[in-house]
Structure formats: structure tokens, C-alpha cells
A = this chain, B = another copy of it.
Amino acid sequence: MAKTVGDSGRGRSHAVHRALKRAILDQALSPGAKLPEDSIGERLGVSRTLVREALVRLSEEGLVDLRPNKGATVARPTLEEGRNLFLTRAALERLVVETLAGRLTQDQIETLSAHIQAEDEAKKEHATSIRLAGEFHTLLAQMTSNASLIRYVNELVARSSLILALYGRPHSSDCAVSEHQELLDSLIAGKAEEASKLMTHHLDSITTRALLPREDDRNIKDVLSAYAAAEGLA
């Protein structure tokens, strides 16, 4: 439906890239999943060449692991990488709010308010809710007009989805809507320092509130050893 001319950018390789990216972020492809070039190409109606190009891009973005002669898999960050990632996010997003504090236009304020309201209304639907929460952060970044900043925040927010998919507590609202509202209020009031603190806390609390170690983080051997013992094996 948005495909006619919308194939903008570098022809179809970008289309493939977007398709895979969406699939990953929607968790239709979960972390660790294999991504064979020809099945993907077949399914999407393009040749391996284009799939490879897309996979290279995704790997540069950190969404895909590309191991030589072994093929591509959806990235599977460790818990520690996850924590570090949120530290990095915080550093960048502090810059975002410091840049924005007291500088939001009326239009931007309305956009953000509307977004927060949408988040509030979608609280029930877990999947949507997560997506919207991420979008709030990328929306803010966008408003700085700082290209590198935008790019990195987008990347980190995307990867955060992976982290939360792997280590997120099932029923935690990962981004409390009220925190977004407070943040916005600070920004409007031009309280840069306060906004910065709120953002730090906001992201910090995700790592403590929502992240927790998962069994499936251990490798297959460790998992099976338990079953082995139960059966009197190994």
C-alpha cells in the first residue's frame, strides 16, 4: 500500500532492509533466529544480492549478527551489553533534552502531547505500547535536528527493543507514560537540568525495573544439563 513509488532510496535493497527491520522489531523474528539469504530472498521476491546488502546494513546497526561463513542471525545482546546500551542511551538522550529544553515550538509540543495521549490510550496493548514508548524517544531526538544524534538514538532505541524482548519483565510498562509527561513539562518549562535528571532516571529505571536475567541466556548445554540430571544422564 505504500510501495508504488515509495521504494525510495537505493531501490529495493532498502525495502528489504525495512522489511527485515520491522520483522525484527515486531519480534516476528526473535533474537537468535537464523536469516538465510535465499529463503529471505525467495520470500521477498528479490535475489540474494539485495538480501545481503540489507543484512550488511542491519549488522552495522547492530540488529543482526553476521558471522563469516556462518550466515546472519538476529542479534542476541547479552544482559551486560543491554545495561551498557542503556547507559549510552542516557548519555545521548541527556543531550537531546538539554538541546530541547525551552526551545520547543508550539507544533512540537502538540505533537508530543498527542503522542503521550496515544501512549496512554494504548496502555492495554503491550506490543503497541512498547512501540509507542520507543517512538516518543526518537521523536524527541528528531526535534534536535542534530543528524548524528538522531541516528544514534534511533539505533539505540531499536536495539532496546531487542534487549527488552530478551530480558524485559513481561508485565512492566517499560516506559511509564507519566514519566514522559513529566519530561515534556520540564522541557516546556525550560528546566534543562531537571529534564536531564528526569531522562537519566527514566532510562535508569528501565534497567532496574524492567531488565532481569533470563534462563535462556545460558547456552543450550547448560539448559539441557538440568534435564539430563533429571533423567540420570551425563
Q: Which residues from chain A sit less than 8 Å from chain B, CB to CB?
A: 9-11, 49, 52-53, 56-57, 60-62, 66, 68, 81, 84-85, 87-88, 90-92, 94-95, 99, 145-149, 151-152, 156, 159
In the assembled complex, the Cα of A49 lies from the Cα of B66 at a distance in Å of 17
Point out the residue from B49, B57, B62, B146 that lies within 8 Å of A88, measured CB to CB: B146
Chain A interface, >50% SS class: helix
Contact residues in B for A10 (Cβ distance below 8 Å): 66, 68
Point out the residue from B53, B94, B147 that lies within 8 Å of A53, measured CB to CB: B53
Query: Which of chain B's residues has its CB closest to A153's CB?
Result: B88
Give 26 pairs: A residue, B residue, CB < 8 Å, sorted on A: A10-B66, A10-B68, A11-B68, A52-B53, A53-B56, A56-B56, A56-B57, A62-B151, A81-B147, A81-B148, A84-B145, A84-B147, A84-B149, A85-B147, A85-B148, A87-B99, A88-B92, A88-B95, A88-B146, A88-B152, A91-B91, A91-B95, A91-B149, A92-B92, A148-B159, A152-B152
Contact residues in B for A99 (Cβ distance below 8 Å): 87
Contact residues in B for A92 (Cβ distance below 8 Å): 88, 91-92
Point out the residue from B61, B95, B146, B147 that lies within 8 Å of A60, measured CB to CB: B61
